[in-house]
């Protein structure tokens, strides 16, 4: 019997699980990277469940903001007291899972300490700095964050206003915020918790600006925790989500730090103020690639959670009676419901497998950078930027579709959708605003197109399609015979065509206006080219992953992967119809392929989402509970409301009671 079936479960969800045509445990192991990884997940889960220090006093939705910050801080200290329970070198896997079980979607004062502060120290300090700072950060004797974004500037790093002016007479940098818009704004943990930060500021030495550089800066006294003289900081207030984190602001008033506070692995300032530039201008991008690989996995996990909740709830919710007298049917039986939910499940799989690929590319990149080889850096940086943009956008839209699929109950915080959305949608703007990220990718694509036109291109596999000749028309004859190679070939055609369309538009504009104006006038088409570049990569990665799956799992997953590809093609059919590359009947065939995939997925949908291996502790959703006993759980959840502590609340005595009494006296 499946481990997901237990006595007392909702009968409908049990029936769904018994319909599985594959072994759910084997699918879970394949999704997460093997039996040993799955075993470790269960061990970590058992440990977290057995530790009372990790429990919330009541569901966090009923806590005030101050209580959420306090509860989160308590838990993260306990969690990091117990990191010997996980492989500390595997934050991408065990670390993220451990954190999600303990902290939920609220984040915490040490989020950026581990995601940005530590990796930046590891990646951008010289040996002496590493020896000084890394042990302190790992031991948590200091708590750090990463302060880059300002009130007036985020993604456009070249225009950051915070200055770090070198004074050779004292061998110090003077940090200063010359304007209000120079205030650092948004860093997690900056408001009240961190006492150090990596601060990105414009470096001035010998009267010249050398651009933005990172510095390690002490912000608070180590004993009193009060701000240092010359440092002003605090919390920025409530946000759409993640309100257990004290995101903060920071201003400097001619605050002095030692010369060695500048992170000097790649660029340096000598005691006399002489500046030594890095060997490669983008060597600092390695940390960004790492952070974005984490982001992509996190986004996939959140979309997977939303699809799990929607699928399970759709299996137990009965609504409508198509045949009078036969009783109401499961809403998962409606094709419209499947069309809303299953593509989100397919997206989640596609994004997760892409995250694994980017992680592996990052590890390869890191190895090559240690040997001075920067060849992969531009391509991987461009790909990770594009994935960050497309994945976070599609995840946000997908979560909302899953919420809507659950009707009115999806609007309740009991569903977890508000928390999931508030947590995930931030990814559209932090670590680079999405459209700006797409235009960064576009610069790389323009260069590749230019090299192809000149016949000098030597493009790596990710961009290799740009220099292909390709077919003039699609070779699709029927969905049944539509192979992986044909699907990829058709997507390559559209991606390649859009790249050259945007490139030609840019070149034409450059003949009449200044380069920056030409770029702006072409930016919409350039962003479209970047999206197609990323979609192509996502489809390729997903289909090739499924092609290598064990045969019993492949029989199921091929329909999920094809749904992802067909959904992209059918929703952008105009791109494929242009210049007769596809005929209308071929587009119709693909649309029918979407419905065919929905029908194939329907009988195994609940078991597919079970394969993601979400425990109720991680899912934190009443609607998505494993046992399917949703309605009893909703009523129980509501009892936590502070308004239910008494039968009569003070507003009756103060306002409603007198109002009604006065009205009755006048009748």
Band of pLDDT at residue 286, cut at 50, 70 and 90: low
pLDDT of residue 563: 98
What is the C-alpha to C-alpha distance for residues 133 and 117, in angstroms, rounded to an integer? 10
3-class DSSP state for residue 494? helix
CATH number of 142-278: 2.40.110.10
What is the C-alpha to C-alpha distance for residues 212 and 173, in angstroms, rounded to an integer? 13
Band of pLDDT at residue 230, cut at 50, 70 and 90: very high
In sign, the C-alpha dihedral spanning 221, 227, 230, 236 is positive
Nearest to 13 by CA among 237, 283, 282, 332: 332
pLDDT of residue 279: 75
| Mean pLDDT, rounded, for 577-605 | 97
> Where do we find the tokens 């450059």?
510
628-656: per-residue pLDDT in tens?
999 999 999 999 999 999 999 999 999 99
- Report pTM: 0.94
For 173-207, the DSSP string reads EEEE--SGGGSEE--TTTTTT-SEEEEEEEEEETT
Which of 5-14, 16-25, 360-369, 506-515 comes out lowest in average pLDDT? Answer: 360-369
149 is annotated as contributing to ligand binding: yes
pLDDT of residue 194: 98
400-440: per-residue pLDDT in tens?
999 999 999 999 999 999 999 999 999 998 888 899 999 99
Q: Are 338 and 597 in contact (CB under 8 A)?
A: no
263-277: per-residue pLDDT in tens?
999 899 999 999 999
In sign, the C-alpha dihedral spanning 145, 148, 154, 157 is negative
> Where do we find the tokens 């090739």?
544
188 is annotated as contributing to ligand binding: yes
* DSSP annotation of 330: B
Share of the chain above pLDDT 90, in %: 85
| Mean pLDDT, rounded, for 62-88 | 93
Band of pLDDT at residue 310, cut at 50, 70 and 90: very high
Query: What phi, psi does 184 have (nearest 5°)?
Result: -65, 135
328 included as an active-site residue:
no
Nearest to 432 by CA among 236, 163, 184, 153: 153
56 CB burial (10 A radius; 0-12, 13-18, 19+): middle
In sign, the C-alpha dihedral spanning 323, 324, 326, 327 is positive
| Mean pLDDT, rounded, for 353-358 | 94
Q: Is the pLDDT of residue 363 over 90?
A: no
Burial profile 616-649: b = 16 or more Cβ within 10 angstroms, e = fewer:
eebbbbbbbbbbbbbeebbeebeeeeeeeeeeee
What is the C-alpha to C-alpha distance for residues 218 and 241, in angstroms, rounded to an integer? 28
551-576: per-residue pLDDT in tens?
999 999 999 999 999 999 999 999 99
453-462: per-residue pLDDT in tens?
998 767 777 8
**Alpha-carbon distances of 63 from 14, 196, 378, rounded to whole Å:** 34, 28, 45
Strands 196-205 and 144-147: parallel
Q: Enter the tokens of residue 546.
A: 């499924």
What is the C-alpha to C-alpha distance for residues 196 and 109, in angstroms, rounded to an integer? 12
Nearest to 154 by CA among 178, 122, 186, 118: 186
Query: What phi, psi does 587 have (nearest 5°)?
Result: -65, -40
Q: Is the pLDDT of residue 51 over 80?
A: yes
Band of pLDDT at residue 87, cut at 50, 70 and 90: confident
| Mean pLDDT, rounded, for 596-616 | 98
Q: Are 210 and 275 in contact (CB under 8 A)?
A: yes
Domain boundaries defined on the chain:
142-278
Q: Is the pLDDT of residue 285 over 80?
A: no
Strands 248-252 and 184-185: antiparallel
What is the C-alpha to C-alpha distance for residues 607 and 180, in angstroms, rounded to an integer? 53
Q: Are 273 and 169 in contact (CB under 8 A)?
A: no
Which of 172-176, 201-205, 378-382 comes out lowest in average pLDDT? Answer: 378-382
| Mean pLDDT, rounded, for 329-346 | 98
3-class DSSP state for residue 473? coil
What is the C-alpha to C-alpha distance for residues 213 and 229, in angstroms, rounded to an integer? 23
290-308: per-residue pLDDT in tens?
778 889 999 999 999 999 9
Q: Which of 431, 492, 589, 618 is catalytic?
A: 431
Q: Are 567 and 346 in contact (CB under 8 A)?
A: yes
For 412-455, the DSSP string reads SGGGSHHHHHHHHGGGGTTTS-HHHHHHHHHHHHHHHHHHHHHT
pLDDT of residue 282: 61
pLDDT of residue 133: 97
Q: Enter the tokens of residue 321.
A: 């009676």
- Computed over every residue of the chain, the mean pLDDT equals 94
pLDDT of residue 373: 75
Nearest to 250 by CA among 166, 165, 146: 146
For 358-398, the DSSP string reads HHHHHHHHHHHHHTT--TTHHHHHHHHHHHHHHHHHHHHHH
> Where do we find the tokens 């004797």?
141
């Amino acid at each position: 019997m499946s481990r997901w079936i237990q006595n007392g479960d909702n009968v409908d969800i049990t029936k769904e699980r018994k319909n599985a045509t594959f072994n759910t445990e084997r699918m879970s192991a394949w999704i997460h990277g093997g039996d040993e990884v799955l075993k470790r997940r269960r061990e970590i889960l058992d440990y977290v469940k057995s530790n009372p220090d990790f429990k919330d006093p009541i569901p966090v939705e009923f806590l005030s903001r101050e209580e959420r910050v306090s509860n989160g801080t308590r838990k993260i200290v306990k969690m990091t007291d117990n990191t010997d329970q996980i492989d500390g070198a595997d934050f991408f896997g065990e670390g993220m899972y451990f954190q999600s079980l303990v902290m939920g979607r609220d984040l915490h004062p040490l989020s950026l300490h581990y995601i940005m502060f530590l990796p930046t120290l590891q990646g951008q300090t010289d040996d002496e700095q590493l020896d000084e700072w890394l042990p302190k950060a790992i031991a948590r004797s200091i708590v750090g964050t990463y302060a880059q974004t300002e009130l007036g500037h985020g993604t456009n790093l070249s225009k950051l206003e915070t200055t770090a002016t070198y004074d050779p007479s004292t061998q110090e940098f003077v940090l200063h915020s010359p304007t209000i818009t120079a205030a650092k704004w948004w860093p997690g943990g900056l408001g009240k918790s961190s006492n150090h930060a990596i601060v990105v500021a414009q470096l001035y030495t010998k009267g010249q600006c050398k651009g933005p550089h990172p510095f390690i800066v002490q912000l608070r006294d180590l004993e009193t925790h009060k701000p240092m003289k010359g440092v002003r900081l605090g919390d920025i207030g409530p946000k759409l989500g993640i309100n257990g984190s004290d995101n903060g602001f920071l201003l400097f008033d001619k605050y002095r730090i030692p010369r060695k506070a500048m992170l000097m692995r790649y660029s340096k300032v000598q005691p006399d103020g002489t500046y030594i530039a890095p060997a490669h201008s983008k060597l600092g991008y390695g940390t960004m690639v790492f952070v974005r690989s984490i982001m992509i996995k996190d986004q996939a996990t959140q979309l997977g959670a939303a699809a799990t909740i929607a699928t399970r709830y759709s299996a137990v919710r009965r609504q409508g009676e198509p045949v009078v007298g036969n009783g109401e049917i499961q809403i998962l039986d409606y094709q419209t419901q499947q069309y809303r939910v299953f593509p989100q499940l397919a997206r989640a799989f596609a994004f997760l497998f892409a995250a694994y690929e980017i992680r592996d590319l990052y590890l390869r990149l890191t190895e090559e950078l240690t040997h001075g080889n920067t060849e992969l850096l531009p391509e991987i940086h461009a790909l990770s930027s594009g994935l960050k943009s497309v994945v976070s956008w599609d995840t946000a839209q997908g979560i909302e579709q899953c919420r809507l699929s659950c009707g009115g109950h999806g609007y309740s915080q009991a569903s977890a959708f508000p928390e999931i959305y508030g947590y995930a949608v931030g990814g559209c703007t932090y670590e680079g605003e999405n459209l700006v990220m797409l235009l960064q990718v576009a610069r790389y694509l323009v260069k590749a197109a230019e090299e192809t036109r000149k016949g000098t291109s030597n493009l790596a596999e990710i961009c290799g399609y740009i220099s292909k000749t390709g077919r003039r028309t699609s070779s699709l004859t029927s969905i049944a015979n539509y192979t992986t190679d044909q699907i990829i070939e058709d997507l390559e055609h559209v991606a390649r065509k859009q790249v050259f369309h945007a490139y030609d538009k840019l070149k034409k504009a450059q003949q009449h206006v200044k380069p920056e104006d030409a770029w702006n006038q072409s930016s919409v088409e350039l962003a479209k080219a970047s999206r197609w570049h990323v979609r192509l990569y996502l489809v390729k990665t997903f289909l090739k992953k499924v092609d290598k799956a064990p045969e019993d799992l492949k029989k199921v997953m091929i329909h999920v992967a094809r749904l992802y590809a067909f959904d992209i093609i059918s929703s952008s059919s105009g791109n494929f119809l242009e210049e007769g590359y596809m005929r209308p009947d071929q587009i119709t065939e693909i649309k029918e392929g979407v419905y065919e995939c929905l029908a194939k997925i329907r009988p195994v949908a609940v078991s597919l989402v079970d394969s993601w291996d979400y425990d109720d502790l991680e899912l934190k959703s009443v609607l998505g509970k494993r046992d399917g006993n949703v309605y009893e759980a909703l009523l129980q959840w509501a009892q936590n409301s502070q308004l239910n502590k008494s039968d009569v609340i003070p507003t009756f005595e103060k306002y409603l009671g007198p109002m009604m009494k006065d009205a009755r006296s006048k009748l």
